[in-house]
Chains A and B, each alone.
Chain A
Amino acid sequence: MKDLIGRLRKLDERYLYSILAALVVLFPWIVRSVRWIQVVNFFFVYALLGLSLNIILGYAGLFQLGHAAFYAVGAYTTAILSSRYDIPTFWLLPVAGLLSAVFAILISRPILHLRGDYLCIVTIGFGEIVRIALRNDASSLVFLSKIPGLQFLEEKLTGLVITGGPNGIFGINRPAILGFTFRQQWHYYYLFLAFVVFTVFAMRRLENSRLGRAWTCVREDELAAETMGIDTVRVKLLAFAIGAAWAGVAGNLYASWVTVIAPESFSFWESVIMFCIVVLGGTGSIPGVLVGTVGMVVLPEILREVLLNIQQWRMLLFGAAMVIMMVFRPEGLWPSQRFRRQLELAKEAVGSE
């Protein structure tokens, strides 16, 4: 085995990438199983979500445990406008992204000054608020009729269907372009693949830009960053907005893929999965997020084939995996170089005492 790895290392990097690219492009043709292509499609959606959260959590260092809310805004925007007004879902991509971004700016602005744990708790809160509001549909707003002058709202809002309540929305249009409608799993495979490739490409560029540096400075030492001329409020808002916009886009793709969505797909547990994808995979690192997604999404599916009672074991395995990771490899499976070095130095310091 070591010999094989040794030989692999010597191969020109470009050969490996070409082979990998070919495998990725030919995957649906090689693996004919609809089930497994579907699993990979799930991987793609969560990869997008993980990469979007990586901006907020990985680059800017803001503890976000309510990311599913942005995902939901994008998905529901697409679902409502598509099923009710028959707008093509591709046109709704920018709408979903934009609405998620605006939503993110509105709710994050008042809480930007909060530190670490406090920010975390508030984000859990707004994640839940979104889910419950979606579940209660227009009834969520009935409380407004208590305001003098707005009594008429009570009658208008009760029974009004916007989000479809606990049953959600069905009949979302599938994506269509130039007369071609995406229907089969392998159609979606290439669509999602294109998005993931573009996202990785765009993230790489963001990472190494003036804004990307500003994010890492804010993460390292916010006061120093502000004193060095970085507008930390603006930079943090941008992290939320861009991260949310991308989650909204993922929501659009997801909605047009499953064509039926319900509030329970955007629960706190989903936010936790996204959080773990980023942290366990390697906070701040793009390959880390992809590896994390494999671990959190693909692995359970593979295990399902092996252990038929996976549902019972899932929580147990999940908890065990977290503990093991934090003890043996807290920097994540594929950490960004910085984090790994930070931890190595910490270990050295302790060892030398």
Chain B
Amino acid sequence: MALLEVRNLTKRFGGLTAVDRLDFEVNDGEILGMIGPNGAGKTTVFNLISGIYPPDEGEIRLNGQNLLGLRPHLITEQGIGRTFQTIRLFRNLTVMENVMAGRHCRTRAGWLAAILQPQSQQLEEQRIREEAERHLRFMKLYEQRAELAKNLPYGDQRRLEIARALAIDPQLLVLDEPAAGLNEQETNELMQLISQVRGSGITIFLIEHDMKVVMGISDRIIVLDNGKKIAEGTPAEVRGNPRVVEAYLGKEE
């Protein structure tokens, strides 16, 4: 059984079929890349997995558990962490607070505990901080922890979003164009970080336009065009696939 199973996934927006009977799996421990021309439906797939809107047809299962109908926060709790194509950080919160937010679904203190501050709540708060610091150090953002998220340089903001998603302790990390807008050095660092994340036991599913990144770190790749899967395989297989080439070149007209 794969970690994430997607069967017959379909989503229509009015007359436009954004995702068309999509079938794929994400295997435990792998890095799966998803590529395709703009408008192919890639981010829509991510939004369907996150539960932001419901599919018209199809199934999504995590560890065999059906995710359909669950609100996004419950899907996150099941173990899926994600980043967004346009960065959606909590801009007026500090770097530290952004990452601490990821710990919300893994902790429990309510309003009464907040006011009374019993031992258990204080311990929980301390652990939240420690966990957040650990993820910040991993993403090399510890020095900037008191900085407001909106003041960070672009590359750091992208890394912060990943740190925040990691704080959820996900089984599956879903990254939407993590390398967008990064320069060459930042891109290389990102690729290293993603490998390290996989090394720590987290499965990764990413959308990316930067071919160097996708071909470089993915174990497998699926290719979308007009909402349909047109190819699947290892980077080498996909690169040579004429249908894939046509999908990209055809669109350049």
Chain A contact residues, CB within 8 Å of chain B: 202, 205-206, 209-214, 216-217, 220-221, 223-233, 238, 242, 338-339, 341-342, 345
Contacts and interface: CB of A to CB of B under 8 A. Distances in A.
Contacts of B77: 229
Q: 9 tightest CB-CB pairs across the interface, nearest first?
A: A229-B105, A209-B114, A229-B76, A220-B90, A224-B88, A338-B92, A226-B72, A210-B109, A202-B115
12 contacts: A205-B115, A209-B113, A211-B111, A213-B101, A221-B90, A224-B88, A226-B73, A228-B165, A229-B106, A230-B105, A231-B73, A341-B148
B121 to A, nearest CB: 8
Given A209-B109, A220-B93, A226 B71 contact: yes
Contact of B89 (A202, A224, A238, A345): A224
Interface residues of B, number: 41
B213 to A, nearest CB: 23
Nearest to A218: B90
Given A206-B111, A229-B76, 14 more contacts: A202-B115, A210-B125, A213-B93, A216-B92, A217-B104, A220-B91, A220-B92, A221-B89, A221-B91, A227-B52, A227-B76, A228-B102, A342-B92, A342-B150
Contact of B109 (A211, A216, A342): A211
A349 to B, nearest CB: 11
A233 B72 CA distance: 11
B180 to A, nearest CB: 17
A230 B115 contact: no
B93 A227 contact: no
Interface string B160-195: 000011001000000000000000000000000000
B207 interface: no
A230 B104 contact: yes
Nearest to A214: B104
B93 A216 contact: yes
Contacts of A231: 71, 73
| Overall SS of chain A's interface | helix
Interface in B104-153: 104-107, 109-111, 113-115, 117, 121, 124-125, 128, 148, 150-151
B84 interface: yes
B50 interface: yes
Contacts of A338: 92-93, 148
Contacts of B113: 209
A217 B76 CA distance: 16
A228 B92 contact: no
A153 B54 CA distance: 46
B52 A211 contact: no
A197 B121 CA distance: 23
Contact of A223 (B88, B104, B164): B88
A229 B148 CA distance: 21
Given A225-B101, A226-B72, A228-B76, A210 B93 contact: no
A205 B118 CA distance: 12
Contacts of B115: 202, 205-206
A212 B111 CA distance: 9
A227 B72 CA distance: 5
A221 B114 contact: no
Contacts of B101: 213-214, 217, 225, 228, 230
A170 B206 CA distance: 67
A214 B98 CA distance: 10
Contact of B90 (A205, A224, A233, A238): A224
B224 interface: no
Interface string B45-72: 0000010100000000000000000011
B89 A228 contact: no
B88 A210 contact: no
B244 interface: no
Contacts of B128: 210
Contacts of B84: 224
Given A228-B76, A229-B76, A217 B93 contact: yes
Q: Which of A217, A220, A224, A345 counts the most B-chain CB atoms under 10 A from its CB?
A: A224
